[in-house]
Amino acid sequence: MTIRVAFQLQIAPGMIDEYVARHTPVWPEMLAEIAASGRRNYSIFLGEGGRLFGYYETDDDEAARAYLAASPVAAKWEASMAEFFVGLEGRADQAATPLVEVFNLHDQREASGA
């Protein structure tokens, strides 16, 4: 069963351009670790004032989180990114604020037989 995970983070004022630059592109070895963790269809969106919204899908979020927590590559990436975030204790890949899904078109259409 696919699990949809959404989260939000806040970038420190004045650091938005550098945050975007660091993701253009992300290190190839970090991309490989994200995929190896079981996360897929992963996107991060930038909103007004440095608000980030992230989304990914996985079959087992606990396993994906544990894989990345143990990854030296992910630890190095997260350490390099720590300076960007406001109000975050710990690594972003482990401590981002999760969002509660309240609507999904596919699920509701399927449940209604549409």
Active-site entry in 18, 20, 23, 47: 23
- Report d(CA 43, CA 28) in Å as an integer: 16
Is 23 noted as a catalytic residue in this protein? yes
Contacts 24+ apart (CB under 8 A), 76-84: 77/26, 77/27, 77/30, 77/33, 80/22, 81/19, 81/22, 83/12, 83/15, 84/11, 84/12, 84/15, 84/18, 84/19
Active-site residues, by number, are 23
